[in-house]
Structure 1
Amino acid sequence: MARKSRAPQRSEVVPPSDGREPPEASEHQTGPEGPPRDVRRFFWIGLAVVALLGQHLGLAERSLLTENPTVDEVVHMPAGLTYWDQHTFRLYHHNPPLVKMVAALPVWLAGPVLAPLYQRKSWSERDPSQANFAHDFAYVNADRYFELFDLARMVMPLFSIIGGLVVFAWSCRLYGAGGGLLSLALWVFCPNILAHGRLVTSDVGSTAFGAGATYLFWRYLRDPRWGRASLAGVALGLAQLTKFSMLLLYLVWPFLWLIRLVVAPAVETWSLRIGRGVVHGAWVVALSILTIDAGYMFEGVGRPLGSFEFASGSLTKPPPGGLRTAPPTRNQLYAWIWPFAQNRFRGTFLENLPAPLPEHYLLGFDEQKIEADGIPLRFIQAWNALNAGDRSGALALAGSSDRSVAGYSVYLNGVLRGSGWWYYYLAALAYKVPEGSCLLLLTSIALLFVARRSRESWVDEITLWTVPTAILLAMSVLTDINLGLRYILAVFPYLYIQAGKLVPFVESLAGRSRSFGRTGLIACVGLTALSSFAIHPDYLAYFNHVSGGPDRMPARLIDSNLDWGQDLVGLRRWCRENIPDEPIGLAYFGQINPGIFTLRGDGFDWFLPPIRPGHVDRMDPASPARLLGPARELKPGWFAVSASLVYGLGWRLYDPTPFLNEAWSPSWNAKDDPFGYFRLFEPVERIGHSILIYKLTAGDVARAAQLLKP
């Protein structure tokens, strides 16, 4: 009787010594009866992938319908509409356009009101204001504002689906189908991916496209061909169209190529490999630039480098004499910097060089770089001196050696301050990654030091660890932006991929050890899934139990980690059901005027709570709008305060004036812990973990009196 052949399993295939892709397993091996064995196997694997991604999509779509747009979404989507409608990227070039355009397309097709907006200053001025444009958009589309955003948000999970496919494909190639499914399950049930995968922001889009591009480049490195280099180049360009942080790939990819060149075995000569790598590398870069240009519809490509008005330290230098007549601008950021800095290419041989990149890509990078570096305090002080008529003092201040900067207020573990912590993002990972995932990730790291592996395998492991290491180092050391886990969301695909190695390791064990290992893997994935189901639909507010959960006081983290303005509609629903005839004091961390409910025919009786004296300014003192302003004294009653404001964050606040068209944008600039007195009280309810509800008594009012004294 003939012996039946056995199809080799993926985990048993050893790559050839030249580092090329291993041959595919035969698709024609048959079992005792029925269809080919590999066909049945692929069917069940495919079904599992579809089921996991379907579960992820269902959780994301259902949860997004319960919340309103967050702080950044309010601005992103209307800007994306102008890209389709006006064919220019001048509004909010702070981020590349791809994600905004994908989100805005179904909204644009739904026909929102846009024509009146192009007649307003928020669009027509030299430096259009994305925030004011977004508020104008909300005002003229109030009757279906939330519904339009639902359309935009419903397409966003497509990016996390793409990310899940990348995670599965990469892990599957390294660790077999079992490893791929484990990695995919960690991605699918990750509360942080579910949180940001629903939002009209660039974080998950850049995470997915960045990992996808690097996966294609990894496959190119294993088998260098022109076709694979071309795919990697286009993918690299698409990643750049999602977020400026993806520029890091231009530094990481040459390092990965060098590691493979030195470490991985090969039969070809060094000169051949280096020459091919240089030529292919130039092709990859050229294709990526062409893709970026096409993504911006070639707007402003070829504009002379010296003609730009840059402001970041990387792209500017002191002007001759230390001071110049700056172009007029209503953007306060540029007003502070431009008199004391000018385009560093101006006056050099590069001044007339045509820029190979779109103008709004370069201007957006410049603006983003200012945010990452912070605004030099010496420029702000010099600008104040210049406005006071002290030219010599302004020159002295601008040229001082003081390199301190003004940036965002940042918060960690009950402490709010003006500069960050080097360990902030490590702490954020410890607080916001589910316990089950943490156990698997830590075990996979330990496995690196105990399992024997080939040189080729070590190159693959280095590839998976290089990108997350570079991201963590860049965000922790090179910037002072400690605002949220979303800034390092791009580390998750690589962490979850390398966790897949646990499956072949467990399967290599024997007897009870294998059974125990399988049980452990299933238990950890189940624990992660349970964490996701338990916090549903409030994924932004997820914290693991070890950290104290989302309702810990004081909160571990705030801002986009907990409270990003997502629960205003939830608050309105709670008020309708619980206190329909009572006013409520509202201090809201978000970019939606609570008066929008009144415009929609749902009268909302709210007022601004008292703000600590000296901790609030009028946003535009010259505005003729008649404002009610914050309440002058604290009285017993109901209050709703966003967690970020409870813990001291300053913010722009809306006025409850009935003259909505005169005070639709934020009217008050609250700063320096304006509502800190609410920390004296215990909330009686929480809306989505992000808005705290208080019922203050006369005794509570008396307790807070000292903090509200002038």
Structure 2
Amino acid sequence: MLVCMPKSTRFDSLRARGQTFAWILIVSLLAVFSLQLVHVARLYSANWDEAHHLYDGYLILTQHDYRANAEVPPLVKITAALPLLRMHLALPGSTGTPQTENAFLGGRTFVFANGGDRLLFPARMACMLFSLVTALLVYATGRRFFGMLAGVCSLFLFVFDPNLLAHGTLISTDVGSACFFLATVYAFYLYSVQPSWKVLLVTGLLAGLALVTKFTGILIAPILLLIAVVEGVRERRPATAARLLGASFAVLACAWLVLWAFYGFRYAAAPHGLQLSPTLGEYLASLPNPAQGAKLALFARFHLLPQAYIWGLANTKHIEQEYTSYFFGHVYRHGPWEYFPAAFFIKSTLPLLLLLLLAPLLWLKEGRAYGRQMVFLLVPVCVYFAVVTTSHFDIGARHLMPVYPFLYVLAGAIAAMFLRRGSGWAALAAALLLWQVVTTVRIAPNYMAYGNEAWGGPLQVRHYLSDANVDWGQQLKTVKQYLDQQHDPDCWFAYFPDGAVQPQDYGIHCHRLPTPSGLWWFTLPMEVPPQINGTVLISESDLEGVESGDGALNPYEGFQKLKPTAILQDGVYVYQGSFAVPLASAWVDVRQSAALVQKDELQQALLLAQRAVTLAPQSARTQLQLADVLAAETQWNSAKKHYQLAQENLLNHRPDLEQEELGIRIQNGLDAAVTR
């Protein structure tokens, strides 16, 4: 006998099956995401920043000392250090160097004297939690805003994003910042729909976590305030704007308390009267913009923020001025405003960009139904882009990480809309989702260097962007494996983070080639002849002259025209043969000559300076060193001649890059020579 199931019962059964399938898919996506992240955590060597982040996190947890790396707020660092608390670890002594340098030196010693990956891997697993939470938030936001299918599509796209996979397990603040930006805005949305003091309290807690994750967390304030205003305008109800503005101020007050809690409600950066180096007053006085220093000094005077937090805010202003930027084949003192928009279009996947390009269709078809959701998605993106575009901190698309969760929620909604609109549109959406997977699988595990197909793929990114867009120094395990396979002990290596991490930390014993940081900041030992032979490895960032400058300022410019023997992790270029490196050799002579002048060994200093000028006569740096030695020997006429040559070289090449570093020294030396 046939029994007809009621229509409503059949519908409920189908919906239950659909939800079960959706949950199986969600769990599967998170599992795949986790496996990819674990693989990255095992493969990538320590990058520029991880060791000193981890070192500082450990000092905060064990000694309540925030000085080592005050340039970054504490949340991610202490999360990374939590798994280390049960280990018996040796702490390095002070190097007697300024604070930022000591953090790098102490961090390297701390990590590699205690086992390297023994510390890094569990720390990275702890940081992976931020990625997993962000993934869940992307799903939850997509589902709440646009329905379960949109949430699943958003999650699907998110977990196959190469940028998230590159940074999602590193001891870095970028993904953590993205996590708490989305979490705060999502919680504020829930409050706007159904006001509750409990939801408001959670929103304040999350906003506070954003503040102690990365200094860009401060942007939560204008984002929430602008959302309140826009919502009031959209609803044409001033009362709505007033209510949400009041809620925003309550959230920010709570966030301020959370920030203080993470610093132990103590103003001083360290216990027992220990001081920052340089002190906060000295550091604020040295800011390039005195007005900014005065504002931060006011915060310090009234203890409105913890001392270490104020020091970190000042550090962001310092590095904006100090860091150079590589953009479309040239190094700039400060990157152009187009840097981050271009980086977004180069580093984002084409499926994401195409779905966003189709976003107006969602607005035209269903805009009225989703007006509030669009406000909460687009205002954070617009505010964040407006701020970073006008900043001078142009060193990596990773700083755009907070906008990606919002954009993936929107892209997932568009994909879901197409999946529901008939076979043709559904086929397009399915193709874009599949394309996202193929993109990731094709470049795995070299996610760091990802660039989309419209720009030529990963190996072409170096023509447009550098630094952490391609090379953050994460390739040493791959380099070690390559050299072991080649059985070639005679190698030379210009390694981008040399000093913060060193090749020998991973068993690589190549001769060291100079990098600006390794030579003048970390003062690493090296001897470089004008001609080198064998296998030469050059980090992509050094190949492009990210720190030194492009063109004649770059000692490795000649290698750009050569075809490499191999490219490791799309970020270390390998050459074999005999190569002239006169500027690199001259740099080493300049440093050694300057050290001998300090010891009053002027004759030997003069010989090295003369050799440097012979090797690189067009370098302002070599001419300046020779002039300084001659001045120390009171040979003023000869010194004047070389100061003038140094000045000419400076003006002939890139005065915008070297003026701040060398220009004042040259002018002071020339003035002294003229008056003698």
2:435 paired with 1:487:
no
- The secondary structure found in structure 1 opposite 2:492 is strand
1:44 to 5, 8, 21: 21
Give the counterpart letter for 1:158 in structure 2. L
2:451 paired with 1:451:
no
Contact 2:38 / 2:125 at 8 angstroms: preserved in 1?
Answer: yes
Contact 1:431 / 1:543 at 8 angstroms: preserved in 2?
Answer: yes
2:58 to 76, 81, 84: 81
2:493 paired with 1:586:
yes
CA distance in 1, matches of 2:462, 2:15: 54
CA distance in 2, matches of 1:705, 1:371: 28
Contact 2:142 / 2:412 at 8 angstroms: preserved in 1?
Answer: yes
Contact 2:513 / 2:584 at 8 angstroms: preserved in 1?
Answer: no
- The secondary structure found in structure 2 opposite 1:540 is helix
- The secondary structure found in structure 2 opposite 1:641 is strand
TM-score, normalized by length of structure 2?
0.78
Contact 2:93 / 2:106 at 8 angstroms: preserved in 1?
Answer: no
Q: What residue number does 1:287 align with?
A: 254
Q: What is the CA-CA distance between 1:438 and the residue it aligns to?
A: 2.0
Residues 17-416 of structure 1 aligned to structure 2 (within 5 Å): 30-31=9-10, 39-114=16-91, 117-118=92-93, 120-121=95-96, 129-138=102-111, 140-141=113-114, 144-264=115-235, 270-271=238-239, 273=240, 276-277=243-244, 279-300=246-267, 336-337=286-287, 344=294, 353-355=302-304, 357-372=305-320, 374=321, 407-416=322-331
CA distance in 1, matches of 2:616, 2:334: 29
- The secondary structure found in structure 1 opposite 2:553 is coil
Q: What is the CA-CA distance between 1:605 and the residue it aligns to?
A: 3.6
Q: What is the CA-CA distance between 1:297 and the residue it aligns to?
A: 2.0
Q: What is the CA-CA distance between 1:620 and the residue it aligns to?
A: 7.2
- The secondary structure found in structure 1 opposite 2:331 is strand
CA distance in 1, matches of 2:241, 2:514: 67
1:607 to 511, 524, 549: 511
CA distance in 1, matches of 2:162, 2:112: 33
Alpha-carbon distance change, 342 to 516 in structure 1, aligned in 2, over 3 angstroms = closer
Contact 2:462 / 2:540 at 8 angstroms: preserved in 1?
Answer: no
1:497 to 397, 409, 427: 409
CA distance in 2, matches of 1:535, 1:458: 37
- The secondary structure found in structure 2 opposite 1:109 is coil
CA distance in 1, matches of 2:474, 2:413: 37
CA distance in 2, matches of 1:594, 1:347: 34
1:693 to 538, 550, 574: 574
Q: What residue number does 2:335 align with?
A: 420
Identity %: 24
Deviations 1:86-132 (A, max 9, x none): 12222211111111111111133333212xx245536xx88883123
Q: What residue number does 1:12 align with?
A: none
Q: What residue number does 2:611 align with?
A: none
Contact 1:610 / 1:632 at 8 angstroms: preserved in 2?
Answer: no
CA distance in 2, matches of 1:83, 1:243: 16
Give the counterpart letter for 1:260 in structure 2. E
Q: What is the CA-CA distance between 1:85 and the residue it aligns to?
A: 1.4
Contact 1:167 / 1:493 at 8 angstroms: preserved in 2?
Answer: yes
Contact 1:126 / 1:329 at 8 angstroms: preserved in 2?
Answer: no
2:543 paired with 1:639:
no
CA distance in 1, matches of 2:583, 2:296: 60
Q: What residue number does 1:393 align with?
A: none
Aligned pairs, number: 585
CA distance in 2, matches of 1:369, 1:542: 29
Alpha-carbon distance change, 340 to 248 in structure 1, aligned in 2, over 3 angstroms = closer
CA distance in 1, matches of 2:244, 2:263: 29
CA distance in 1, matches of 2:106, 2:567: 31
CA distance in 1, matches of 2:198, 2:269: 28
Give the counterpart letter for 2:485 in structure 1. E
Relative to total residues, which structure has the larger helix share, 1 or 2? 2
Q: What is the CA-CA distance between 1:150 and the residue it aligns to?
A: 1.6
Alpha-carbon distance change, 118 to 441 in structure 1, aligned in 2, over 3 angstroms = same
Of the structure 1 ranges 145-154 and 229-238, higher mean CA displacement relative to structure 2 is found in 145-154
Q: What is the CA-CA distance between 1:649 and the residue it aligns to?
A: 2.0
Q: What is the CA-CA distance between 1:261 and the residue it aligns to?
A: 2.1
CA distance in 2, matches of 1:337, 1:705: 34
Q: What is the CA-CA distance between 1:529 and the residue it aligns to?
A: 0.8
Deviations 1:615-657 (A, max 9, x none): 8995379x8x9x4x341221332100001111112269xxxxx
Q: What is the CA-CA distance between 1:680 and the residue it aligns to?
A: 3.0
Alpha-carbon distance change, 561 to 119 in structure 1, aligned in 2, over 3 angstroms = closer
Give the counterpart letter for 2:423 in structure 1. S
Alpha-carbon distance change, 412 to 99 in structure 1, aligned in 2, over 3 angstroms = same
Deviations 1:248-304 (A, max 9, x none): 1101101111222232377xxx55x5664454334322221221122222221899x
Give the counterpart letter for 2:103 in structure 1. Q
CA distance in 2, matches of 1:503, 1:195: 24
- The secondary structure found in structure 2 opposite 1:299 is coil
Residues 452-467 of structure 1 aligned to structure 2 (within 5 Å): 452-454=366-368, 457-467=370-380
- The secondary structure found in structure 1 opposite 2:370 is helix
- The secondary structure found in structure 1 opposite 2:537 is strand
2:557 paired with 1:676:
yes
CA RMSD of aligned residues (A): 3.8
Q: What is the CA-CA distance between 1:239 and the residue it aligns to?
A: 1.2
- The secondary structure found in structure 2 opposite 1:692 is strand
Q: What is the CA-CA distance between 1:41 and the residue it aligns to?
A: 3.6
Of the structure 1 ranges 205-214 and 427-436, higher mean CA displacement relative to structure 2 is found in 427-436
Alpha-carbon distance change, 352 to 62 in structure 1, aligned in 2, over 3 angstroms = closer
Alpha-carbon distance change, 174 to 640 in structure 1, aligned in 2, over 3 angstroms = same
Of the structure 1 ranges 80-89 and 438-447, higher mean CA displacement relative to structure 2 is found in 438-447
Alpha-carbon distance change, 430 to 342 in structure 1, aligned in 2, over 3 angstroms = closer
- The secondary structure found in structure 2 opposite 1:649 is coil
Give the counterpart letter for 1:358 in structure 2. P
Unaligned runs of 5+ in 1: 7-29, 311-326, 375-406, 653-669
Alpha-carbon distance change, 328 to 363 in structure 1, aligned in 2, over 3 angstroms = closer
Give the counterpart letter for 2:559 in structure 1. F
Unaligned runs of 5+ in 2: 587-613, 618-676
2:465 paired with 1:557:
yes
CA distance in 2, matches of 1:347, 1:576: 54
CA distance in 2, matches of 1:594, 1:495: 35
1:649 to 541, 546, 554: 546
CA distance in 1, matches of 2:332, 2:87: 44
Q: Which has the higher contact order (CA 8 A, sep 6+)?
A: 1
Alpha-carbon distance change, 92 to 263 in structure 1, aligned in 2, over 3 angstroms = same
Contact 1:78 / 1:134 at 8 angstroms: preserved in 2?
Answer: yes
CA distance in 2, matches of 1:492, 1:40: 31
Give the counterpart letter for 2:96 in structure 1. K
Contact 1:413 / 1:556 at 8 angstroms: preserved in 2?
Answer: yes
